[in-house]
Each structure stands twice: as structure tokens, then as C-alpha cells.
Amino acid sequence: MIFAGLMGIFLIGLTAQGIPSFGTDSTPTSGTTGDSFTFNITISNATAVYVDYWFGTGSHTNSSMSGSNPYTHTITIPSSSTDTLHYLFVATDGSNWTATLPKNVPITDNDAPVFGTDGSDTSGTTGDQFDFSIAVTDNIGVSTVAVEYWFGSGAHTNTTMSGTGPYTYSITIPSGSTDTLHYVFHAGDSAGNWAAASQVDVTITDNDAPVFGTDGSDTSGTTGDQFDFSIDVTDNIGVFRVTVEYWFGTGTPINSTMSGAGTYTRSIIVPSGSTDPLHYIFHAVDYGGNWAATSQVDVTISDNDAPYLVSTQSWTATTGDPFMFQIGMNDNIDGTQVSEVHVVYKQGSSAETNITLSYNATDQLWYSSPSNVNLYSVASITYNISAADAAGNWVLDTGFSVRVDDNDAPYFTSDLTSNAGTTGDPHNFTVDAVDNIGVSSVYLSYAYQNGDSFSMIPMTQGTGDNWYVVLDLQHTLSPIFYNFTVYDAAMNEYLSADKQINITDNDLPEIFSDMSPGSAEAGQEDYSFRVMVTDNIAVQTVEVTYWFSFAPTEQVLTMTRLSGNIYYVLIDLPSSSGTMYYKFTAYDSSMNEFTLDTGMQVDVVDNTAPELGAPAYPGTAYTGDTFTISVDATDDVEVDFVRLFYYFGEDIPGTVPFMDGTPSGSTYTFELNIPDSLAALHFWIEAVDLVGNKGISPVFDVDVMDNDDPAFLDFLSDHEAYTGEDFLFKVNATDNIEVDHVDVTYALMGMDPVTQTLERNMTSFCAILTIPNDASGYMSFFFTVYDTSGNSVVSGETFNVSIIDDEGPVAVLEGPDTARQHQEVTFSAEMSSDNVGIVSYTWEINGEPFSGPVVNYVFDDVGEYTITLLISDGTNPGVEVSRNITITDADAPVIVLDVPTVLGNHLPFVANASASTDNVGITMYLWTLILPDNTVVNGNGPVFTFDLEGALGNISLYLTVMDAEGNKAETSAYIDIIDMLPPTAVGPGNLEMMEGETATFTDMGSTDNVGVVDWVWAVHGPDGTETHVGSSLTYFFEKPGEYNITLTVYDSAGNNDTTFFIVTVDEKTGDFDGDHDGIPDSWEEEYGLDPEVNDRDRDFDGDLLSNYLEYKIGTDPWDPDTDNDGLPDNYEYDHRDVMDPLVPGDDQKDPDGDGDPNIEEYLEGPAVRDPTVSD
């Protein structure tokens, strides 16, 4: 069956002379998926060359080849299949055809998997899940997908991913590091092709906020005294800053930076003029910018100031309802629960009543016993309040009043409205309404059930309590729903329940405009009765009653609404003639009935002949087959029969044969047998109705053709073939009309098929073929017989005859001696030869088998390889040959770069490529760093370090890596350099001064790595908080007391720091102060100061305390160490919570418990040691 696929090609007769001769077939012996493939053949004596090819068991494609010796045709091998490619060549010289034997080309998959969308997370956070996701496709099938990942310069992990589309894998990011996550996807298919995606670098950020531990802050506070905040804070990476946000009562919060590490502390002074509770919240931020805050803590502040009296609230009472007084009192000692509270009240002109109130501890208010307000009066209640504390002090507040409002709604006593109504008629709605003060208005709200919204109309007051309104009902059967609403003068409202009035209809429908036709034909279909009907509500049903003069039985039909008010119904009229009588009846939705009967009638007549449609039949008739004709015949009354008249040939016979059609509905079918003759068929059709009316079609002509195949009788060819001898092809054939000729198609082993026409002798057909001397293997052949109409049939089998060959092939292997890694290398055996033909090429390259005369191979590894080739002609023993090839390195290094994307300008810049790899070894790292000012810095080695020296902006990093063979790889990165260091706020020291004085404060040297740009001062004084902006603050201290002043400094990046100091403002006393410097003259005279010169801010003893402050704290303005304990007065004053500049002995105390007395910590320097902190 080798040549069965060539049947559609060999349709033209051959002769044995001048057959085209095929030469060298240079078509590749192997192919790869998705790549181009070129058929290549040389041939002589050809005018056209074709290639017939197919894959596996798929359909054949026949394509014309281009060029001339060689002839070529290029195709693209499907990428999704490795089915074997089969092909053969066909050639003609214009008269003769010849073809090669089919050849097989193995197809291998060399297409690696393709990576699609990387759906992995684009960023990661410490301690959280990270999801890898990648879409991978392959032309044949994906076998394995894996992800290789590592953190920073850590160890690599390679794990297989799950799924199919996409492939996924999840990991948990370590919580204690923000090293960059690097990953590479790898994918392999079933053919062993592997692909790797580019390395992806994912920034890991710390999203774990700091954690608060023990709150060691004071649990209570007292006015004017120090309060200490203390909190333990830890973080997975590192705590950057801890602040405390605190405020008193509902005042403005202050946010202050705390000091320390692990345990963070801050101290403040509680204001002396308020007992508002202290509220505070700790805030902490780590180096990743993650913030955490504690819950709010509330601290009670105690006070012993004198009490005060609070006035009452305003009230409103309502008529007839209980009312009680609710009074709020307060006292500096007793609080809200004072000793006693009284109220004297009256309503309008009534007599006064004196009542004692009771205290309610739950809401801390005083209440009277409830009493009812006059139901029928809206006069105001006036009252006075008096209260006494435990010491017998009284307070009296007068002139209070309570407005009395009417909240008692009116109501209805009776509804006299009828619950039944009729369409279009007036209906009286009436109701009785009353109120404690007086009815103001009454409204009727109504709506129909058909979906209308409620309408509200006012009602008219009748006699006494009666109200009424008259409404015309709509023409609808929908019930009407209604309710009444009554209002009094205070707009108190009462709404009655909804009620329903049922509406009935007794109007008759109307019939007019009879639009039915006045005449019709017998047997007419779809005669239409039409009439116009209306009703005030809705037409329910319209009927037509009709009867005939020849059939008096009445028929009643329900009519259908056509459009608007028009109703219709269709009927089919009988075939009889006569008169049709009819009348209309209409019913509305209430079954009111009206009939229109004015003697309507229609005359019915019939005179129409049958009609024939175009007959349906095949365009050609075939000998020995059944010929089917069908036609549609219709009549307005009824078709009686349909008849077919027909004859064959040119002459009409004296008697024309006919047949009656078989009916199916209106279609009639005729079945006619065609004889074994090519004479043309002629026919026409006639249709007759019941009254003899006849319809006749035109005459139709149909050609008759022969479609019967000829047949083989006997196969009488020789059973054996011998080289150099004649071989006899012989067969007997017959046909129903006549055999035209018989062809034989034969092919010798290794040669193209040849088709030859046999010579005729009666029913026998013969041909002689001389077998070539160099032929071998076998010869195959089959026969094709044709009749005079072109019908043909192929012999049912292909006959095979053996031919012998004994000469072996000569093997020649060609290829290079050296090649580069990953370079495609071509090895050829095309110079090998055999007398008959080589049937197989078997290669072994790097342990892999291949076939075909040419093999292309890519060596992935460096080394020495042996190439082996074995060729065979299929009969004689195979011949083997081999050669060696040397492969040199071509793999570029793989760069693994660990570099931050964002970096503070106070940190060193470090880029690490030490995890980069190469198959033979990296020999060079070349770094180029471009700074924000375009300065270029170069470096080498696997790690590149550079001191940014406070630079800000974007920097660009470029890296080139090279191996020993000169292969190189390049990458780049872009880093944002930002300012992350907060400034250090330095404000003035604590100060004491007199009320009514003005002072100016300046920044005392706040610093920042970039620069301080903004200053915010907040003054927290007796009257609240004031905020000022600028590098200095000038403030007028109007009242005595303690002022807590904070200074917050900001740099250009928004980083900030806060410090505070306390200004104590003393109340002016009666002691005479002639120079108005705040120091009494008597004290200045006692210590030798000039009472007539303002020397308030002078510092005669150089201890950094002004004369005014020395006066206030009692130290000697001429002695820097008043108590002679070795500690200067200013040092002891600055630490006055643990030292006293007037009491000797502080030098040996150790308040922070760190084992070092105060004198040692002082001598080491205040900037080094803090006597209140264990260090």
C-alpha cells in the first residue's frame, strides 16, 4: 500500500520514454520543532516538481517546489508535535510523471520551556509569607518547574514548584533580617530542554513594629511635682526612637523624645493650676519606619485648692408629664456631693414650692422627686437654686426658667366615612377629632391600590369636633386607601390607621366601527373579523358569533386585541359558496355585557386554479440510479391530484408516459428509474383541483451521465522479476458502457514511481518492462482502469516482486576539529555512497543517538568528544567511522548582586557580588558608581564599599564581571540616598522670673547631619498652650506659675527631636524693689549688690546661676558652692530632684545606685555621666 496516497496525482497517461530522472536528495534527515525545514532535490528533464509531505498519520500536503536543480521548498515544522515527517517528490516533463519512494524524517523537540507572567510578590516583609508564582508553557509539555532562592549572600535553596498554570511555591521570610531576596526560576520539558529566567531581586522590608514591655512610669501625680515616664521597648531589627505623647485633660498633646536603651525614660513637671488627669501614650519606631503605640494610660492628679459652685442646666417640661429638677454642684473638697441642695419653683402665677434635692452617686447629679406638669397649661416654670457645703457656706443662683411644651397628641373619636363607593361619584369623608389644648387642622391622605402615591388634602371643620371633605372617586376598580392626620397648635400629630373603600363599576362597554371585509372567496384562509370596543374600566372579553347560509350552526370565537381598542380573530372559510352572518358581544371586567347585531353578512365565492411551485430535482441524472422530483401544489379550496409526464431522447413519443405524485402535505414526490443510456430526460407537471381547474409547469430537461466504475476481471502479471529480464504486466477489465484504457504504476526499490498505459487486446491489457541490471530489493506495482466517462477504479492491492543487491556502502564523516561551547556544530555523512542507496545513518554524539545524513549538535560543556557514525544500505553489513572534536568555554558569568535600594546617608554604601558564579571561574569585577553630583567612583573585587559622606539623592551602580575565557556579564542598580538621622534639639535651661516680664529664648545649638530648617515652640502655661514658629521665642509672662516650654526642631527630611525647659514665674511680693529687677533691695544689700542697678541676670560667682535665681533658691551670689560639698550650685540645682545646693553632703550620695558617688560622676564631666541614670 506504499503508493495508495498517490492516486490523486497519477491521472495522466505515461509513456516509457523521456521520464524525468531524480538526482541527489539533499533534504535534511532530521528536523526540530518550530524550525524551518527545506526539501531539496535535483532532477533532470522536469518542467514541474512537487513535494507531497505529511506528519505522522495526518493529512497530506502537496506543494510546488521552486528553483532549478536543486528544487527547494521550505516549511515550518509544527512546534507542538514530534510526529515523524514523511515525504516524497513528484516530477513531470509535461507529459510524463514520476515519483520517489516516501522517506521518513524524525522530529525532535529542541524548544525549551517559555516563561510567562511572573506573578510573584514584588516585595516582602519580615516574618511574613512570600508567594512565588510563574506561568510556564512548552510546545510539547512542561516536566519540572523549580525556584532557586537565597537571601543576601546566604545559601541557595532549590525547590520544585507545584501547580500547572501558574506554578507556585510559598516561603516564610526570616523575621530577623532585611537581606535582599534573590530568586531564579528553572523549567525543564519532557525532552530534557531547560530554561532559566533572569534573576529577580526583591527588597525585604521590616514591617514588624517594636514591642512594648513593662511600663515603669509613676502611677499617680500631684500638681507642681515631677512625674517620671519609663517604658521597656524591643524590636526584631533595632529601636530607632521612643517618644512619649502626653497631655492634661483635653489639652494639646506634647510629643517628647525619651532617652536610654532598652528602658527609655523622660521626666516632666505636672502643672500646679489644674487637676486634669494626665494621659499618655508611648510611641516607638524602628529603623524600618515601623511605628507602634501603647494604649492610652490615664493618671489621676491630686489637688487641695478651695471648692467652687456650678450653676444648673436648662430644662424643658411637657404638659401632663412627670418633671424633676436635675442640678450639678461641685466643691473643692466635697466634689459633686455637697451637703445639701434646694429649689424654690412655681408655674405661671401659681404659689411657690420649696423642695430638697437628693444626690445620685451614679451620675453625680442632684434630683428632685417627680411631679406632674399641668396638662392644660403651657406657662413656664421659674425657679431658684441654693446649696451649702459641709462648712455651712451657701450659694444662691436665681432667675432660672423651664419652658413647658405641649406633647400630648390629638386623637379621633369616630370615623363616619362609608366603606363603599362607585366609580366617578362623589364620596364624603368625615371624622371627629379632639385635643387637650385644641385641634389645629385635620388632613385626609388617600391613594388607589393601582400604585398611585398618597395625596394629602385639608379637611373642613363642621359642627363641634366634626371635620369633613368630599372627593370624586376615580374610574377604577382599585380600592382606595385612606387615613386621617390631626395636628394641634404645638404640631403634635396623630395618624389614624389605614382604611379601605371598595369601588364598584356598572357602566356598559361600547362597540363601534365594524371593520370586517364585506366579501370573501370560498376556501379563503385567514378571513379577519375586526371591531373597535371600549370600556370605562377595562374590556374583559370580545366575542364574534358567525354562521353560514349552508351551515346554520353558530360558531363563537373569542377575539384578540390587535392594538389600541381594536379586536380581531382569523378564520378559514369553507370551500362552499354562500352567505356568512355574524354579530359581536363585549364584556367588561365587571361582566357588564353589550351585543352589536345589525344584520352583518359576507358573500363567499370560489374561482381560483391550483398553483405549482418550482420543482426540486438533481441537476444531473445517472445511469441505473433513482431520480427524485418534488413539487409544491396548492389550491384555495383543495388539490385533487398532481401528475408527472416524461420521456428520454430528442423525439416525443406518441403516448407520453406519466405517473401520479405521492402527496405529503402540499408536496408531491415522483421516483423515476434511469436506464443504462445517456439519452437526456425531459418532463413537465400538471396539478388539478376539485372543480377541474388545472395548473401546468414548463418542460424541464436533464442530462444523463454514467457514474458506474469499471471493474477488474483477472490479474495475470508475472509473479517474479529478474534484473536485466522482461517483466509482463497483464490484467482483464470490463465496464457497463465501455473501458477506455488501463494504467500500471510501478516503482523499483530506491527509484521513483512510473505510470505506463497498457496495450489493449479485447478485454486484456498488457505491457513489458525490462528490469535494470543494478536494481535490487523489490518492485511494487498496481493497476488503474478508466471508462469513457472518466470513472476509474484502482486494483485492490499493491503487488510486490523481490530484486537482489550484494554491494556494501562507503562511509565518509565530515565535521570541524574545534568549536565553542553552545555553538551549533554540523556533522555530515552526505559524501557517503552506495550502489543502490543508503537507508540509515546512525550517530552517537556525547552519548546521544541521532539519525540522518546531517546532524546539528550544541555542546553545553567544555571538553573532548568522539563522534561515531554507522551507515547501512539495508542489505549488507553496516560500515562505522569516527572523529574527535574539542569544545572551548562560552558561558558568561552569572551575577548575583546584593545591594540596598534605599540607604541612609549616614551609613556606608556596600555592594556585594561575591555570590556570583561561573563555570570556569570569575577573574575580574569592575564597579562604577555615579554619585548625585555626577562624580564617578570606580572599584574592583567582589565587594565594593564607599563612604557616602552625607550625600543625598539617587546614585547609579554598574558592575561588569569577566571569566578566564573573556566571557562577561553586566548589571546595574539604582539606590535612593535619604536622610534618616533626626536632629538633636538643644534649648535654653530652666529659668525663674517675675510675673509681667518678657523673655527671649533662642536655639542653643541644635544640630543635624544635614541641617535644622524649622523650629516649633510650645508654651504650656496656666491659660493653656500657645505655639510659635521660628529660631527664637519672645514671650510675655503675664501670670505667675510654672510654664513648660518645648522646642521641636525639624530637618528637611521631616526628622525631628524635642526638648523642654521650665520657666518659673513668681508672683510679685510687697518687698520693695527699687531697681525693678525682681530682687528685693534688702537681699541685695545683705549680699553686697547694688539695689539701684538692675543686676538680675548678672553672675558674679560664675556658677551659671543668675543673681535672680540665686535669690530665689537661697544660694550665695558670690560663692559658686554655697554648701561647700565640692558640687557647684548650678550642678546641684540642675539635679535638684536628688540634690540641694543648700545642704552639704550631696557629694557622697549615689541616687542612681551605680556605685559611683555624685562627686565622681561630676568630676568625669556632666556630658559623660548623669547622676540620675545608672551608667
* Tens digit of each residue's pLDDT (9 = 90 or more) over 577-619: 778 999 999 998 888 899 998 888 988 776 677 889 999 999 8
Q: What is the dihedral of CA 715, 721, 724, 730, to 10 degrees?
A: 0
CB contact at 8 A, 37 and 110: no
pLDDT digits (tens, 9 = 90+) for 533-552: 998 888 999 999 999 988 89
The verdict on 238 and 167 lying in the same domain is no
Q: Residue 97 pLDDT > 60, yes or no? A: yes
When pLDDT is cut at 50, 70 and 90, the band that residue 8 belongs to is very low
Domain boundary residue among 175, 205, 235?
A: 205
Contacts with 436 (C-beta within 8 Å, 6 or more apart), sequence order: 319, 320, 375, 376, 406, 408, 410, 488
Average pLDDT over residues 563-571: 91
Q: Residue 86 pLDDT > 90, yes or no? A: yes
Q: Which amino acid would we find at residue 729? A: F
The verdict on 327 and 347 lying in the same domain is yes
Separation of alpha carbons 494 and 513, rounded Å: 55
Q: Residue 330 pLDDT > 90, yes or no? A: no
Total domains, the chain:
11
Report pLDDT for 7: 34
Dihedral sign, CA of 661, 662, 663, 664?
A: negative
Report pLDDT for 115: 92
Average pLDDT over residues 1016-1045: 88
Nearest to 563 by CA among 585, 587, 530: 530
Average pLDDT along the chain = 86
pLDDT digits (tens, 9 = 90+) for 624-634: 889 999 999 98
Contacts with 783 (C-beta within 8 Å, 6 or more apart), sequence order: 712, 715, 729, 731, 742, 743, 744, 745, 758, 794, 795
Buried b (16+ CB within 10 A) or exposed e, 175-197: eeebbbbbbbbbbbbebebebbb
The verdict on 398 and 422 lying in the same domain is no
Locus of grid cell 529659668:
991
Domain assignment present for 1166: no
| pLDDT over 90 percentage in the chain | 35
Separation of alpha carbons 448 and 446, rounded Å: 7
Domain assignment present for 250: yes
The verdict on 1004 and 1122 lying in the same domain is yes
Contacts with 1008 (C-beta within 8 Å, 6 or more apart), sequence order: 981, 982, 983, 984, 1049, 1051, 1055
Preceding omega of 102 cis (within 30 degrees of 0)? no
The verdict on 556 and 569 lying in the same domain is yes
Q: Residue 19 pLDDT > 70, yes or no? A: yes
Average pLDDT over residues 34-39: 94
Separation of alpha carbons 578 and 1144, rounded Å: 147
Rg (CA), the chain: 59
Domain boundary residue among 386, 405, 424?
A: 405
Q: Residue 786 pLDDT > 50, yes or no? A: yes
Q: Which amino acid would we find at residue 704? A: V
pLDDT digits (tens, 9 = 90+) for 687-711: 987 767 788 989 999 998 888 888 8
Q: What is the dihedral of CA 819, 820, 823, 828, to 10 degrees?
A: 10
Report pLDDT for 367: 86
When pLDDT is cut at 50, 70 and 90, the band that residue 303 belongs to is low
Q: Domain holding 679: CATH number?
A: 2.60.40.730
Q: Residue 458 pLDDT > 90, yes or no? A: yes
Separation of alpha carbons 680 and 682, rounded Å: 7
Phi/psi of residue 1132, nearest 5 degrees: -70, -35
Domain assignment present for 1164: no
Where in the sequence is the domain holding 441, given as residue range(s)?
411-504
CB contact at 8 A, 490 and 407: yes
The verdict on 33 and 149 lying in the same domain is no
pLDDT digits (tens, 9 = 90+) for 147-180: 999 999 999 999 999 988 799 999 999 988 889 9
CB contact at 8 A, 775 and 725: no
In degrees, rounded to 5, the angle at the alpha carbon of residue 940 between the alpha carbons of residues 938 and 942 is: 135
The verdict on 393 and 437 lying in the same domain is no
The verdict on 459 and 481 lying in the same domain is yes
Number of neighbours of residue 552 by Cβ within 10 angstroms: 8
Q: Residue 12 pLDDT > 70, yes or no? A: no
Report pLDDT for 395: 77
Cα–Cα distances (Å) from 1168 to 33, 846, 891, 1173, in that order, read 78, 75, 60, 11
Domain assignment present for 310: no
Number of neighbours of residue 683 by Cβ within 10 angstroms: 24
CB contact at 8 A, 257 and 251: no
pLDDT digits (tens, 9 = 90+) for 478-492: 899 999 999 988 888
Average pLDDT over residues 666-671: 94
Q: Which amino acid would we find at residue 665? A: G
pLDDT digits (tens, 9 = 90+) for 1056-1113: 998 888 888 877 665 677 777 888 888 888 888 888 888 888 888 888 888 888 888 8
Write down how long the chain is: 1175
Q: Residue 555 pLDDT > 80, yes or no? A: yes
Q: How far apart are the two ends of the chain, measured CA to CA in Å?
A: 103
Report pLDDT for 241: 87
Q: Domain holding 946: CATH number?
A: 2.60.40.10
Locus of grid cell 353558530:
554
Locus of grid cell 390607621:
497
pLDDT digits (tens, 9 = 90+) for 717-753: 888 887 668 888 899 988 888 888 999 999 988 788 9
Domain assignment present for 1151: no
The verdict on 432 and 481 lying in the same domain is yes
The separation between CA 849 and the C-alpha centre of its own chain, rounded to angstroms, equals 49
In degrees, rounded to 5, the angle at the alpha carbon of residue 174 between the alpha carbons of residues 169 and 178 is: 110
Q: Residue 558 pLDDT > 50, yes or no? A: yes
In degrees, rounded to 5, the angle at the alpha carbon of residue 987 between the alpha carbons of residues 983 and 989 is: 150
The verdict on 741 and 700 lying in the same domain is no
When pLDDT is cut at 50, 70 and 90, the band that residue 891 belongs to is confident
Separation of alpha carbons 1039 and 1064, rounded Å: 10
The verdict on 1001 and 1123 lying in the same domain is yes
Question: In sequence order, which ranges of 795-904 are alpha helices (DSSP H)?
Answer: none
Domain assignment present for 1156: no
Report pLDDT for 16: 38
Report pLDDT for 640: 86
Locus of grid cell 533572569:
198
Average pLDDT over residues 15-28: 78
Contacts with 1164 (C-beta within 8 Å, 6 or more apart), sequence order: none
Report pLDDT for 332: 55
Average pLDDT over residues 1031-1056: 88
CB contact at 8 A, 766 and 36: no
Q: Domain holding 530: CATH number?
A: 2.60.40.650
Domain assignment present for 1161: no
Q: Residue 274 pLDDT > 80, yes or no? A: no
Q: Which of 57-66, 333-342, 518-527, 869-878 has the highest mean pLDDT?
A: 57-66
When pLDDT is cut at 50, 70 and 90, the band that residue 182 belongs to is very high
Q: Residue 307 pLDDT > 50, yes or no? A: no
In degrees, rounded to 5, the angle at the alpha carbon of residue 902 between the alpha carbons of residues 899 and 907 is: 80
Q: Residue 14 pLDDT > 60, yes or no? A: no
Written as nine digits, the cell of 1093 is 542697678
Domain boundary residue among 846, 866, 888?
A: 888
Contacts with 338 (C-beta within 8 Å, 6 or more apart), sequence order: 329, 330, 331, 387, 388, 389, 390
Element (H, E) at 172: strand 167-172
When pLDDT is cut at 50, 70 and 90, the band that residue 807 belongs to is low
Cα–Cα distances (Å) from 12 to 6, 15, 328, 763, 1025, in that order, read 12, 10, 123, 21, 113
Average pLDDT over residues 226-244: 90
Cα–Cα distances (Å) from 665 to 203, 632, 669, in that order, read 82, 9, 11
DSSP 8-state code for residue 616: B
Domain assignment present for 1068: yes
| pLDDT over 70 percentage in the chain | 94
The verdict on 973 and 998 lying in the same domain is no
When pLDDT is cut at 50, 70 and 90, the band that residue 887 belongs to is confident
E strand residue ranges, 678-806: 681-689, 694-696, 700-705, 711-715, 726-734, 739-748, 754-757, 759-761, 764-770, 777-787, 792-794, 799-803
Nearest to 956 by CA among 936, 939, 979: 936
Report pLDDT for 402: 87
